[in-house]
Amino acid sequence: MNSDLPGYEQAAAIVAERVRAIAGHHHPRTEPVDLAHAAGRVLAVPLLADEDQPPFSRSTRDGYACRAVEASAHIALPVAGSTHAGEAPAGPLPSGAAWEIMTGAPVPDGADCVVMLEHIERTGDLVRLVQSRTIEPGDNIVSKGAQARGGDPLLAPGIALGPAQIALAASCGYSTIESFIRPRVAILATGDELVPIDAKPEPGKIRNSNAPMLATLVDRTGGVPVVLPASADTAGALDAALEQAIRADMLVISGGVSAGKYDLVEPALSRLGARFHFTGVKIQPGKPLVFGEIPQGERSATAKVFFGLPGNPISSAVTFQLFAAPVVAALAGGREAHPRFVFATLARDTDRKNKPGLTRFLPARCAFNDSSSELPQVATVPWQGSGDLAAFAQSNCFLVIPEDAGSLTAGATVRILLH
């Protein structure tokens, strides 16, 4: 049974294939979004430069605008004028002269370089380039249109908007950005033991921590979480809950996918006509993960993608990030749907635990230290298994232990998944 399950790479490839299919035929509707609320939204149309950037030749230094051949002759040049940032372009620069200029100010016509203040000797109204320096045409100037020409596309549709893209949009005069409408992702926690966060759990009960965790992950990945009330472990309750959940664009269900007597999620999905891409992956934690689609028949051309995540909080988190996040990102119209794996140096040996054939993802903490020449250092966080939220909350990544690697030794270069 175990050997029939896909390994991590194979399962990821199955998801990637579905993600490509979604990206190919799914065209989310668009809406204008206020720039102040555009963080994390996905650009739906090309972002264009409204005019040349920079719109005028700009000095990048405080100093003196002049002609490079004249300055490099180290002769004293009279100061013919002055422009500071915010002033209209002035000039032209008379021949054999210099022009006082500040950072961000327009360079006067006729000047081809700016000598920085620190490289000037000034005597009264005369300035001279210090003997030890030379200067070339173009130095310390960004010419009009050097960054972009008016009308140039600066960002392509599908890019998620972060601080840099928002600043660029602002500089081009966009107060709203045409963005894709975010997919609605139903979050359905299942389990007889679950009580709401504001309830005091009776003996044997626990609070439903997966719903807010998954809502945070969905939001961060570009979706709108639609959190449904937790479902009891009965066929009737699950059928009713799934009927609600199927109205969303995608379903993320937690719990009830293991092999236990009360793990009723798979049969409930089957009753809705689900096709399963896989029902289990050779990873730990997260082995019982279920991935599939529910065809919509007449109702809609596109099937509803669902993930049944194992209920243990860390299993839910890791499987969401590895497999569900790329699908949410694709439904959001994004073009960057890959989990963020990076390399790090292992700071401490990992425990020797024989889980043959499983790729492991252990909660770990990675320190982005001050040394720029080295990879970040990573060490696992001691944990009591995949329900240990106290340990999970100390982590900022997962350490990847490849299939059949056994344990890893301090100093090794390892892969981590940032979370």
CA neighbor of 100 nearest in space, from 82, 115, 118: 82
* Bridge partner list, 362: 399
Give the range of 46-54, 132-140, 188-196, 280-288 binding Mg ion by CB under 5 A. Answer: 188-196
Using the rule CB under 5 A, is 255 a contact of Mg ion? Answer: yes
CB of 310 to ligand AMP, least distance (A): 5
The listed partner (Mg ion, ligand AMP, none) that binds 193, CB under 5 to 8 Å by sort, is: ligand AMP
312 binds, options Mg ion, ligand AMP, none, Cβ within 5 to 8 A by partner type: ligand AMP
DSSP 8-state secondary structure symbol assigned to residue 367: E
Distance (Å, whole) CA 150 – CA 164: 19
Closest by Cα among 38, 344, 270, 309 to 161: 38
Q: φ and ψ at 355, to 5 degrees?
A: -125, 75
Of 28 and 191, the one with the shorter C-beta distance to Mg ion is 191
Binding-site partner at residue 115 among ligand AMP, Mg ion, none, CB < 5 to 8 Å by type = none
Structural contact between residues 310 and 288, judged by C-beta atoms closer than 8 angstroms: yes
Least distance from C-beta 275 to ligand AMP, angstroms? 22
The smaller minimum CB distance to ligand AMP, of residues 63 and 225, is found at: 225
Stretch that binds Mg ion, among 46-54, 267-275, 285-293, 309-317 (CB under 5 A): 309-317
Q: Which residue's CB is nearer to Mg ion, number 106 or number 255?
A: 255
Question: Binding residues for ligand AMP, per CB under 6 A?
Answer: 189, 191, 193-194, 206, 208-210, 254-256, 258, 260, 310-313, 387
Question: What type of residue sits at position 90?
Answer: A
**Pair 239, 59: CB distance under 8 Å:** no
3-state secondary structure 180-219: ECCCEEEEEEECCCEECCCCCCCCCCEECCHHHHHHHHHH
Q: Which residue is nearest to ligand AMP (CB)?
A: 311
Q: Which two tokens stand for residue 77?
A: 């040049």
Q: How far is the CB of 263 from ligand AMP (least distance, A)?
A: 6
Residue 191 touching Mg ion (CB under 5 A): yes
Query: What is the contact surface with Mg ion in residues (CB under 5 A)?
Result: 191, 255-256, 311
